[in-house]
Structure 1
Amino acid sequence: MKPFVTFKHTPKLSAALIAVALTIIAYSCGTSSAAETPAGTEAPALPVVQLKAMPASSFREYTSAIEGKVNVEIRPQVDGYLDKIFVDEGAYVKQGQPLFRINDRPYQEQYSNAKANLEASKANLEKAKLEVDRLTPLVENNVVSDVQLKTAQAAYSAAKAAVAQAQSSVGNAGINVGYTLISAPVSGYIGRIPLKIGSLVGRGETQALTVISDVKEVYAYFSMSEVDFLHFKNDIAGETIAEKIKHLPPVELVLADGSVYTAKGKIETVEGQFDKTMGAISFRAAFPNEQGLLRSGSTGKVRIPQEFPSTVVVPQEATFELQDKVFVFAVGDSNKVVSKPLSIAGKTTGYYFVNNSLKDGERIVFSGLGRLRDGAVITPQPVQLDSLLKSKPL
């Protein structure tokens, strides 16, 4: 029988070359065998929680600036030197209470001069009236020409106008004298007083003498993004924006130290248009402040509550973030995991409330997410959602 392969010439190979060739062949066979049959590994045991749909309440927070219901800048109406300051910064004043006095001597002199001019005008008026009274019977008896009477009557009218003008000057001078004493137009708390006694003040000054804030009720101004505003329009009952605002529940105010203000407020108004630079629209919430704990210029967060009749509750420990999105690892058939993005409708300190992206009864990995990849197989270790809710309530 003939062999399958025959060589006409048998090359001579060195012993070293043959050894290298055999080594390469052996390594290749070993690698191929290892790739086809990897070493067996056990599926990692990870805690898994089964989700539930339940009623829940949440809130949305918006950074706010607090202002008094009335903020009045106190500015001088006349020029002069500041002679007296009757109040101190931070003091509570009542409407009509004196605040500042500007040196009134120049205005008193103007007032006295205006009064003297008024007296002179009245004297001229009396003189002109006497002349008219003297000429009237003479003209009636044809003793003198009526031209003289008409001239006297014209002088009398001019004298009457001069009296009116002098009376107006007296009134204007009196007003200026009154402006030298600056009183509180409203009740409230005095702000900073930047100028001191002896300072020259006037109507052209850009800086106010002080600001009075009426803080018995305060306004918290905050802004909503366009997305949040669309949620507001779609989720709140009412045909118009005004009706929707009326249906909003009372809101809370979170202070700068994280505490919640004792009294609840009410959202009252919304601006008519968006701020083009910020892409947001402003709202105003009113809060009672009888004890004066809140002051103009302070900050806080307006907290708007949200009620969910039925929502899937997801512990935040069971989530991870990727490219500004929040994901979970859902456990599917054969205990394989797959990442799913969440559609978050609301949240609390420890939980997300999601709709549509997860279903009631679905299972997700609770912890150990850093070792997982899509398609990985795990050994589920059940964790009860009820026990999580007991240790960390909604």
Structure 2
Amino acid sequence: MKPLDIKQYNSWVKLLTAISVATVLYSCANSSATPGMPQQPPPALPVVPVTTANATTFREYPASLEGKVNVEIRPQVEGYLEQIFVDEGAYVKIGQPLFKIDPRTYNESLNNAKSTLLAAQANVSKAQVEIDRLTPLVEHNVISDVQLKTAKAAYDANVAAVKQAEAAVANAQINVGYTLVKASANGYIGRIPSKKGALVGKDDVLTVLSDISEMYAYFSLSEPDFLSFKNQFAGNSIEEKVKHVPAVELALADNSIFGSKGRISTVEGQFDKTTGAISFRATFPNPGGILRTGNTGKVRIPQQFTDAMIVPIESTFEVQDKVFVFTVGDSNKVASKPITVTGKTTNYYFVKDGVKAGDKIVFAGAGNLQDGVAIVPQPISADSLLKAKPL
């Protein structure tokens, strides 16, 4: 069937407007009628059939975004900031130099440790000479073996001193290495609060390095939403159900949809006692680094419907948190029926029960009706309605 052109659509809208006006006039006439006066004819109201359709809707949950790696870059030695090699917002690769702390103090400590090591090694050599001198004397019973044992003990002590001095050298070398602060991951440099010449220590954060090649979107589901989630997807465990969730979308702060779809990757092990919600994490690829840590948005989880009954939202009315429609029965009399809604789009409800496919319902003017009132149906085909008001 060809789509409605604008002229046909405008005529259809005018028809509905005229029908609504007629309904109001009929209602007013009924309220002012007096006994004995001729009764007004039944109102003419648009009627549509309940039909089925395949569709995908989305449930949206507010989310906060973080890069997959957010590393606080801290100095591991204290000193004056001698050089800053990068600027805020720069992209760096792992191992790239970022900052340099004045190394002079640590170089001197290294030189001192090396001198101590040389002295310890000399003492080992001296102790070995003493052992070599005493060994033949003991073998020929010139002296007692006590002196040789004492010399060997001194040798062992000097060997231990060498090991200790080697450790001190290694530690001093590590500290010298720490004066050059390097990137521990690929990513973007954040704010740099300390400037050149500032005294920095282990408690200071030089910057934050963010790897945003992938973004983590953290969002929460209430307990009812979590139970609905468990019932919606196949699997014997939450891990299996997560694997069956289709790709999710990310709506940004301006309501635009991010170009890359993501996947739900993890679910927390317990509910937050304060909020009564459980946290989920979705992972999105981030080509070009468009998203940054601190962004907000909404994770959109798809809900797929196959041959689901659809009812126009404007055909419904609510009473005490229940949704109703007026069905048209025998003699064109209307009856209110509660329906169970399982999802919605901008224009339609997806209905589980309460009506069945093929049932005729009042499309507009339901707010002025009562059970048992007869109407003059003005049929509207399901195809025409879906073209004018798409899913």
Q: TM-score range by the shorter chain?
A: 0.7 to 0.9
Shift of 1:183: 0.4
Instruction: Output the amino acid matched with 1:360.
Output: A
1:96 aligns with 2:95: yes
Q: 1:256 aligns with which of 253, 272, 280?
A: 253
Preserved CA contact (<8 Å) 2:93 2:185: yes
Preserved CA contact (<8 Å) 2:47 2:377: yes
1:390 aligns with 2:376: no
Cα distance between partner residues in 2 of 1:155 and 1:55: 89
Preserved CA contact (<8 Å) 2:74 2:203: no
**37-46 or 269-278: bigger deviation:** 37-46
Shift of 1:103: 2.0
1:146-182 deviations in Å (ceiling 9; x for gaps):
2211111111111111111011011111111111111
1:261-283 deviations in Å (ceiling 9; x for gaps):
22222222222222222222222
1:156 aligns with 2:159: no
1:110 aligns with 2:109: yes
Q: How does 1:312-331 map to 2 (within 5 A)?
A: 312-321=309-318, 323-331=320-328
Q: How does 1:321-360 map to 2 (within 5 A)?
A: 321=318, 323-333=320-330, 335-360=332-357
Give the alignment's TM-score, normalised by structure 1. 0.83
Structure 1 pair 167/313, CA: closer, same or farther in 2 (3 Å)? Answer: same
Q: 1:368 aligns with which of 365, 369, 389?
A: 365
Cα distance between partner residues in 1 of 2:339 and 2:87: 56
Shift of 1:377: 5.1
Give the alignment's TM-score, normalised by structure 2. 0.83
Cα distance between partner residues in 2 of 1:320 and 1:193: 57
Quote the residue 1:170 is aligned against: 169
2:68 is paired with a residue whose SS is strand
Instruction: Output the amino acid matched with 2:120.
Output: S
User: Aligned Cα RMSD in Å?
Assistant: 2.5
1:210 aligns with 2:207: yes
Quote the residue 2:299 is aligned against: 302
**335-344 or 152-161: bigger deviation:** 335-344
Quote the residue 1:84 is aligned against: 83
Quote the residue 2:9 is aligned against: none
Instruction: Output the amino acid matched with 1:104.
Output: P
Structure 1 pair 276/124, CA: closer, same or farther in 2 (3 Å)? Answer: same
**146-155 or 53-62: bigger deviation:** 53-62
1:275-301 deviations in Å (ceiling 9; x for gaps):
222222222222222322222221222
Quote the residue 2:237 is aligned against: 240
Cα distance between partner residues in 2 of 1:370 and 1:57: 29
Quote the residue 2:193 is aligned against: 194
Structure 1 pair 141/196, CA: closer, same or farther in 2 (3 Å)? Answer: same
Shift of 1:137: 1.6
Query: In terms of Rg, which structure is larger?
Result: 1
Cα distance between partner residues in 1 of 2:188 and 2:63: 21
Instruction: Output the amino acid matched with 1:273.
Output: Q
Cα distance between partner residues in 1 of 2:162 and 2:237: 60
**93-102 or 212-221: bigger deviation:** 212-221
**220-229 or 329-338: bigger deviation:** 329-338
Shift of 1:322: 5.0
Shift of 1:95: 0.8
1:41-68 deviations in Å (ceiling 9; x for gaps):
5544433322212333222222222222
**168-177 or 262-271: bigger deviation:** 262-271
Preserved CA contact (<8 Å) 2:187 2:211: yes
Quote the residue 1:229 is aligned against: 226
Instruction: Output the amino acid matched with 1:185.
Output: S
Structure 1 pair 323/114, CA: closer, same or farther in 2 (3 Å)? Answer: farther
Aligned residues: 359
Quote the residue 1:180 is aligned against: 179
Structure 1 pair 274/38, CA: closer, same or farther in 2 (3 Å)? Answer: farther
Cα distance between partner residues in 2 of 1:108 and 1:60: 60
Q: Any unmatched runs of 5+ in structure 2? A: 1-32
**238-247 or 110-119: bigger deviation:** 238-247
1:227-261 deviations in Å (ceiling 9; x for gaps):
22222322322223222222222222222222222
Shift of 1:40: 4.1
Shift of 1:334: 5.1
Quote the residue 1:125 is aligned against: 124
1:103-155 deviations in Å (ceiling 9; x for gaps):
22221221121111111211222222222222222222222222211111111
Shift of 1:349: 2.1
Cα distance between partner residues in 2 of 1:102 and 1:337: 84
Cα distance between partner residues in 2 of 1:378 and 1:221: 52
Instruction: Output the amino acid matched with 2:382.
Output: L
Quote the residue 2:18 is aligned against: none
Preserved CA contact (<8 Å) 2:66 2:217: yes
Quote the residue 2:58 is aligned against: 59
Cα distance between partner residues in 2 of 1:107 and 1:162: 22
Quote the residue 2:26 is aligned against: none
Instruction: Output the amino acid matched with 2:208.
Output: V
1:243 is paired with a residue whose SS is helix
Cα distance between partner residues in 2 of 1:163 and 1:54: 83
